[in-house]
Amino acid sequence: MNKTMLAVLLGATAFSMPALADDTLASAKAEGQYVSYGMSDDWVNLGTIFGEIESKFGLKHVDTDMTSAEQVTHLLAEKDAPVMDIADIGYDFTGRLLENGLAASYKNASWDSIEPRYKDAEGRWASAYWGAIAFLVNTDKVKVAPQTWNDLLKADYKDMVCSRDPRISSYATASVLAAAYANGGGEDNVQPGLDWFKQLRDSGNLRNGVVLNVASVQKGECPISLVYDFDGFAKRDATGLPLQVIIPSDGTVGMLFAQYISAVAPHPNAAKVAIDFLFSDEGQHLLAEGYAHPTRNIELSDAVKAKMLPASAYEKVRFPTNLESFSGAVKNIAEGWDKVAK
């Protein structure tokens, strides 16, 4: 019995993988491994994806978790003694990556089926998934859940809202941008978002000194958290707590995450195999199993759909206009908040 027939009988989804060039696969197996930065095993199901790559192609994965900013710093320091092969970087730092010539040009095997807004025309990066900025609400502690950005300013939510500093955190920066959109601004005018975040802080609604993670949610330190929706779903299912993911009804920001191969990758062929798998139908479905939104138009299983919100919840998601505009907005938010926070 072939694998496709077996999958059908078991009720599983059968996936095909774009064919790899024989010389690329042979060279990848000779390299034996690939090293990633910023791609944590517990992030959007990446641990399972890395395991599948090892099982299918015999390539071991070595990773170092780090922020997008740390990636750029490490790569600049390692130019003469490269370590990293592939990485996952926030869209807000992709401009710095390209400015410094740190990404190789490689158009993965699924390139033609990726929408232009999710990839670089020169092949230096492509985004395998995105996440929406959302509210994660503990319904035991919050009786009436907020539905809009300005709802969070209400006195009902005194000392309840958790976020990081928008100068150092992508999702916090994107939250400020989403609030800017909700109040008449946008990428070209982030001031309404900065005003909103200042009001959130000055009202006492913004809770200070809390690191957002599963432990803080479990301890009840974050009754209302500003998160990526996929992280909220993961926390909900990991903790078993009464957590609700809410996409603000007045709109939010869709954050892209870019994957790329280092311009000086020590294991370039293994890196290509890993990137190809990430963008394959199977890789995209595994990302969705980790609650992320795949960028390729693939059919999701009913089990995956049942754990996520319907498409109608995302009708007001705003994606970056382009890399230059979005990077400029992020810079203006960081600099603007720096002036306020001093």
Determine the angle formed by the axes of helices 22-31 and 268-279, rounding to 10 degrees: 120
| Residue 127 and residue 119 in contact, taking contact as beta carbons nearer than 8 Å | yes
Query: What's the pTM value of the predicted model, to 2 decimals?
Result: 0.90
Q: How far is CA 268 from CA 36, 64, 78, 124, 260, in A?
A: 12, 18, 16, 14, 11
Strand partners, 293: 130
45-93 pLDDT, tens digit per residue, is 999 999 999 999 999 999 988 888 899 999 999 989 999 999 999 998 9
**Among the listed residues 124, 125, 127, 37, the one whose alpha carbon sits nearest the alpha carbon of residue 85:** 37
Q: Is the pLDDT of residue 4 over 70?
A: no
6-59 pLDDT, tens digit per residue, is 333 334 455 656 666 668 899 999 999 999 998 888 899 999 999 999 999 999
Q: What is the pLDDT of residue 40?
A: 85
Q: Is the pLDDT of residue 103 over 60?
A: yes
- Cα separation, 54 vs 58, in Å, equals 5
| Residue 27, both tokens | 């060279």
Cα distance from N-terminal residue to C-terminal residue, the chain: 67
Residues 6+ apart with CB under 8 A from 192: 179, 180, 182, 183, 184, 185
Q: What is the pLDDT of residue 42?
A: 85
| Average pLDDT taken over every residue of the chain | 91
Q: What is the pLDDT of residue 3?
A: 37
Q: Is the pLDDT of residue 100 over 70?
A: yes
Residues 6+ apart with CB under 8 A from 210: 162, 216, 221, 222
pLDDT grade for 217, boundaries at 50, 70 and 90: confident
